[in-house]
Amino acid sequence: MDRLFLRSQDEVQKTVSGIYSDLERRIVASPVGQCPVDLTASFLMLAHSQSCGKCVPCRVGLGQLQLMLGRILDLDVQCDIYDLAILERTAKTIAETADCAIGSEAAKMVLRGLKEFREDYEYHIKYNTCSPRVREAAQSVPCMRTCPANVDIPGYVALVKHQRYDDAIKLIRKDNPFPTVCALICEHPCEMRCRRNLIDAPINIRGIKRFAADNCSENVPIHEKMDDTGKKIAIIGGGPSGLTAAYFLAVMGHKPKIFEKREQLGGMLRYGIPNYRLPRTRLDWDINAILSAGVEVETNCDISSVDFMKKIREEYDAVYIAIGSHGAKMLGIEGEMSKGVIPAVEMLRGIGDNKLPDFKGKSVAIIGGGNVAMDVARTSKRLGASEVTIVYRRRQQDMTALPAEVAGAIAEGCELVQMLAPARIETDKEGYVKALIAQPQMVGPMDKSGRPAPLRADKPEVRIPCDIIISAVGQATDSQVFEEFGVPVYRGNITAAENTNVVELDGVFAGGDCVTGPSTVINAIAAGKVAAANIDAYLGYDHKMSVDIEIPLPDHKDDIPTGRVELKERFARERDKDFDEVEEPKSFEEAMQECSRCLRCDYHGYGAFRGGRDEQW
Amino acid sequence: MVNITIDGQKIAVPEGTTIMKAADEVGIKIPHLCYLEGVNDIGACRVCVVEIEGIDKLATACNTQVVEGMVIRTNSPRVRWARRINVELILSDHKANCPYCLKSGNCTLQSLANDLGLLIPDYSNTAEKMNWSRELPIVRDASKCIKCMRCVQICDKVQGMGVWTILGTGYRTTIGVRDNKRIDLSDCTLCGQCVTHCPVGALRECDDRLRLQRAIADPDKIVLLQIAPAVRTAWGEQIGLGVKEATLGKLVCALKKIGVDYVFDTTLSADLTIMEEGSEFLHRLNNRDKYQWPMFTSCCPAWVRYAKTQSPDLLPNLSTAKSPQQMFGTMAKTYMAKRLGLDPDKIYSVSVMPCTCKKYERTLVEEQDSGHGTDVDLVLTTREIDRIIRSDGIEPDELEDMPFDKVFGEGSGAGVIFGSTGGVMEAALRSAYFLATGSNPDPDAFSQVRGSGGWREATFNLAGQELNIAIVSGLGNVRRLVDAIHSGKEHYDFVEVMACPGGCVGGGGQPFRDGEEKASERAGILYSLDDVNDIRFSHENPTVAELYQDFLGAPLSEMSHKYLHTEVKDWDMEMHFDQDALEDPRKTYLYD
């Protein structure tokens, strides 16, 4: 008799595994604004189906939780607010007494929901309906809803499919005057919840936008200017947020003027993002279009005193503060002031004005794990560094940098060392950097950011010899003058409401990185758009931004699972020597295939009914 | 042109044609349910699915456009099964107890199921429970709702009110009033357009038939009934009488058979309204500085409700003249009672209206001026009257033309056209001209205001004054017009507003005709009645003249103000239920 057998997967198990991966993708594509109470009820049902049935809390308790949630959700059953107490104590007992994680984790999810979205429970109980927050977002078009600037994505995808590239650019500009910039470097949150996930993978939205930007005419006409209002708006900071606000305000007939501290416009787009990711010619194309709407600009103009700020406020009908977050955060380790230690923002700023440092033959260590760390690492390589080492105190998967940026850096020969926390900097007699001393870490329990905290490992320190150390551990906002002017500041960042209004000061608005801390370009653009709308309203107008472009109807077709076209990059061994663009454009056939993968949620499902496009704002 | 093949027939249709329209061209009516042309093409019910060669997924005919070379099958086995299963699924979520439904016999879902010849249900029933007060002018029976979203779309797109919204998610998805308010306490104007576009029995008017029957049976009550102008254009539709056969005289005959004591015509009080409103307009013109402009008509209570919630700043612009229904009610229990020798406290005053909102209007405290209870005791819609005729077994073919009772059945042609968009304006201008100049214009001098456009304008010269007037119907158009006035883009002197598209003829109390908008055809009937009327001017109505002579004195007199005018700003949005409401053990109040 054989005593043991190898386990093999039969066809049914294979199918079940396939269903599990479908399920995972379905969860990724959860509709924005799904009712969290309903979601909890559905998850409980799944969790309950996983129960072995041995222990009481899991077998019976999860069932009772489902029944309670069902009653709360049912529209024709009146529940009592005290039902939440029963729900809570039942879930707590299951979490504390279930014999394994199948039961306890399911109950913990209910408890977490009771804490985090109690309002939704209360709405269901009191009014038999989802909370207004949920209803407002319910079943909107996923990509548009997740785009901070609410760009009409299905619209421009359809236009690209019909090879109407200029119309696509015009449509994007209705919500976002940086079509090219976003085509090249947007972090594309729009792709995250793409309904195409249900079938295969999200469509490559940024790639499609890039195809429009690569193939449109040299001069795509901007919005027609509305009647002159004579209102003057001062915009402090010529980055993406300030420029966006300036564009829309100019189109609305106002007179915006940008006060820019540096030599050139663009903010972090110019002084933070290297040319190989965002070629300056492409950036200038967007900026020139924005300026052509009638934006006055004063560069090299630092708002260095409160009096200057007061004067601006007096002379202008409204002010938008969008100064970004350009200061460097300190490492806080011994030897930080040594020669050869450079903050990443300073280095990138110099490069933005074509001041390239010489790293030829030098060994460079980068501290940090964000996109900026990757930018300076790859830039160092291009500046001729013999060795580039990225030192990070957590694991690679915990990095905040986009995976593609990390992969790009590694491909170009940067070495990534994980789980090493900088301890101090070793210098020579003249005070020049000799080495970075780092303390090995081990991965620990999750911290507030949801990532495992790095803990000091019981291992000896590591010495990384180097000539240059670039610190990329975060940026700070230079908000002092504004704080003195009366703008509230919390932890260095300006406090503004969700409508970008600085509540304490009449006619003063703020947005972008200086409010949120370092964030993405699309968030900065969104803030500029919101500011433009609310400044317009503040000035007593109701100018509507719209564009007269008919969106083609979708074709009736089957949705055959098809791979996602990814954008390709130049060979690493060629591209790491120059600052030319790394990414390569999509081919026509790739773009067309990608466009036809779009499920046109603006037209199908709820989009056809109430969740479709906002034709104006 | 696009060349396509439908069920083997080749046809060329213009680009942009939907499959449904293209099939119609070759004589194929693709069954559909949620689709409402121009309003609802969201593909919700999935009943109109068809097969397109080369594509696995079935397409909805209502919102898929044809493309060159398309080969379509509307009756393949796949299509037949899909259509049938989707209808069965809809039925499984619908309380299909058809005999207990006012829509039975005129229900799109019922005919669809009948046509498919369904026999045995495959699915268990999951219909919601009804949760609504049965006394509100608009009653929603959730158990019948099929979530076609037509009510939401009509309210959003046509009426621009957005009263209806989606509640719940997943299988609990349903329709409710925005902000979860009781409907009369919401912004709802109670226009009833959602009711006349509901393909099933989920939306209806409050059913008041038993109250009429109880009053008739009561020996202490004298039932005195008025018929609104628009009712005469549509009352025959649901009892099998064609437009030519369904004469007003036959309706009088039917009402007499039911047992109504006096049958009168609202046209009479429409003439009265014109005398008051026309005089008011001239008064305001002569005291231009004292008033806000333009002056608006106020005989449509749904419009008044609209103004109260959407533009309260315009309330002073509304004429203070009561609506014809209310003027009639007040006169019924005062002057008419005296003239007919009746005890006003015994009069049970009933109106038959093309309107759901009139059921609300009659309950308003500000409208009770007779001093003898409510001026109008009961409002029935055209649909309810048709049901009473049917339930009493009255043979439509046996009806004979009967005159109205003496003497309050006489109205002018001007009063008749009140039921159509533009009619009030035209009637007012005819008499205003006389009042201002002392001589009659050609009765058709103002026919320029006729038409079916939602927002029409005209300019007239009235005794040397240039008058800019506008006529607007459909609340979506009303909002656009009001916005234009607010922003200073438009300047008018006099604006006629009717909440329902096309006016009262297309009112929320008119018979349900799925897929048809009958307002302009019905308006045509009113204009031809006006044309053959011996009296074309409200001021020439002899009964109206007597009324002023014997009772009111003159338009805008103290007596007129006492009996015929109202302050719309004091109107309560809340519906005041009758004390004598029928006891209904099942009535539920969700919102108490």
The per-residue pLDDT for range A510-554, each reduced to its tens digit, is 999 999 999 999 999 999 999 999 999 999 999 999 999 999 999
Q: What residues in A contact B167, CB-CB < 8 Å? A: 75, 128-130
Give the pLDDT of residue A611. 65
Indicate yes or no: CB of A610 within 8 angstroms of CB of B152. yes
pLDDT at B590 over 60: no
Q: What residues in A contact B64, CB-CB < 8 Å? A: 556
Residue B423 C-alpha, separation from nearest chain A C-alpha, in angstroms: 35
pLDDT in tens, B155-207: 999 999 999 998 888 888 889 998 778 899 999 999 999 999 999 999 999 99
Residue A540 C-alpha, separation from nearest chain B C-alpha, in angstroms: 13
Q: Kindly name the residue from B135, B276, B277, B410 that is annotated as catalytic.
A: B277
Pick the CATH number of B2-92 from 3.30.930.10, 3.30.470.20, 3.10.20.740, 1.50.10.10: 3.10.20.740
In 3D space, the residue among A431, A437, A465 whose CA is nearest the CA of residue A339 turns out to be A431
Rounded distance between C-alpha atoms, residue B369 and residue B349, angstroms: 14
Assign B27 a pLDDT band (cuts: 50, 70, 90): very high
Residue A315 CA, chain-centre distance (Å), reads: 35
The share of chain B scoring above pLDDT 90, in percent, equals 84
Q: For chain B, say whether A553 makes contact (Cβ under 8 Å).
A: yes
Give the pLDDT of residue B181. 85
The share of chain B scoring above pLDDT 70, in percent, equals 97
Instruction: Identify the top-confidence range among A2-16, A440-454, B119-133, B313-327.
Output: B313-327
Give the pLDDT of residue B592. 33
In 3D space, the residue among A277, A290, A244 whose CA is nearest the CA of residue A404 turns out to be A277
Average pLDDT over residues B572-588: 62
What is the SS3 assignment for A269? Answer: helix
Give the pLDDT of residue A612. 72
Contacts of B82 (CB under 8 A, 6+ apart): B46, B49, B58
The reply to whether B426 belongs to the active site is no
What is the SS3 assignment for A333? Answer: coil
Which residue in B has a C-alpha nearest to residue A610's C-alpha? Answer: B153
Rounded distance between C-alpha atoms, residue B197 and residue B508, angstroms: 9
User: Which phi and psi (to 5°) does residue B519 adopt?
Assistant: -55, -45
The reply to whether B299 belongs to the active site is yes
Domain(s) of CATH 1.20.1440.230: residues in chain A: 33-137
* Domain boundaries of chain B, sorted by first residue: 2-92, 138-204, 209-267+326-398, 274-321+416-532+552-570
Give the pLDDT of residue B225. 97
pLDDT at A135 over 90: no
pLDDT at A43 over 70: yes
Place of tokens 């704002």: A617
Q: For chain A, say whether B120 makes contact (Cβ under 8 Å).
A: no
Rounded distance between C-alpha atoms, residue B351 and residue B265, angstroms: 9
Place of tokens 């419009």: B303
A146-221+561-608 is classed in which CATH architecture?
Answer: Orthogonal Bundle (1.10)
Please report the number of interchain residue pairs, chain A to chain B, with beta-carbon separation below 8 angstroms: 60
Average pLDDT over residues B449-463: 91
Q: In the 3-class helix/strand/coil scheme, how is B196-225 assigned residue by residue?
A: HCCCCCCEEECCCHHHHHHHHHCCCCEEEE
Indicate yes or no: CB of A75 within 8 angstroms of CB of B165. no
Average pLDDT over residues A231-251: 96
In 3D space, the residue among A329, A365, A345, A332 whose CA is nearest the CA of residue A469 turns out to be A365
pLDDT at A316 over 80: yes
Pick the CATH number of A232-326+477-538 from 2.60.40.1180, 3.20.20.70, 3.50.50.60, 2.60.40.10: 3.50.50.60
ipTM of the complex: 0.79
The reply to whether B45 belongs to the active site is no
Average pLDDT over residues B110-133: 90
CA atoms within 13 A on the CB side of A38: 24
Assign B588 a pLDDT band (cuts: 50, 70, 90): very low
pLDDT at A573 over 90: no
Structure tokens at B486: 């607010």
pLDDT at B71 over 70: yes
Name residue B578's amino acid.
D
What is the SS3 assignment for A235? Answer: strand
Kind and range of the H or E run holding B284: helix B266-286
Residue B176 C-alpha, separation from nearest chain A C-alpha, in angstroms: 9
Q: Kindly name the residue from B269, B319, B420, B560 that is annotated as catalytic.
A: B319
Which residue in B has a C-alpha nearest to residue A36's C-alpha? Answer: B169
pLDDT at B586 over 50: no
Selected residues 19-78 of chain A with any CB under 8 Å from a CB in chain B? 34-35, 38, 73-76
Q: What residues in B contact A34, CB-CB < 8 Å? A: 169
- Of the listed ranges A259-263, A330-334, B541-545, the one predicted with least confidence: A330-334
Structure tokens at B379: 């409002």
To probe the interface with B, which of A126, A551, A556 has the most B CB atoms within 10 Å? Answer: A556
CA end-to-end span of chain A, whole Å?
A: 77
- Of the listed ranges A52-56, A317-321, A387-391, the one predicted with least confidence: A52-56
Residue A50 C-alpha, separation from nearest chain B C-alpha, in angstroms: 23
* CATH 3.40.950.10 is right for the domain spanning B274-321+416-532+552-570: yes
pLDDT in tens, A154-171: 999 999 999 999 999 999
Which residue in A has a C-alpha nearest to residue B60's C-alpha? Answer: A556
pLDDT in tens, B329-367: 999 999 999 999 999 999 999 999 999 999 999 999 999
* CATH 1.25.40.10 is right for the domain spanning A33-137: no
Identify the DSSP state of B18: B
To probe the interface with A, which of B20, B45, B169 has the most A CB atoms within 10 Å? Answer: B169
The share of chain A scoring above pLDDT 70, in percent, equals 100
To probe the interface with B, which of A75, A558, A604 has the most B CB atoms within 10 Å? Answer: A75
The reply to whether B504 belongs to the active site is yes
pLDDT at B591 over 50: no
* CATH 3.50.50.60 is right for the domain spanning A329-474: yes
pLDDT at B587 over 50: no
Give the pLDDT of residue B580. 53
Structure tokens at A76: 């024709």
In 3D space, the residue among A474, A476, A481, A463 whose CA is nearest the CA of residue A425 turns out to be A463
Average pLDDT over residues A202-215: 96
Indicate yes or no: CB of B167 within 8 angstroms of CB of A128. yes
CATH of domain B138-204: 3.30.70.20
Residue ranges of alpha helices (H) inside A316-400 are 344-352, 371-382
Indicate yes or no: CB of B165 within 8 angstroms of CB of A38. no
Indicate yes or no: CB of B166 within 8 angstroms of CB of A553. no
Structure tokens at B584: 């209904």
B209-267+326-398 is classed in which CATH architecture?
Answer: 3-Layer(aba) Sandwich (3.40)
The reply to whether B48 belongs to the active site is no
Q: Kindly name the residue from B135, B280, B410, B426 that is annotated as catalytic.
A: B280
pLDDT at A81 over 50: yes
For residue B102, list its beta bridge partners: none
The reply to whether B68 belongs to the active site is no
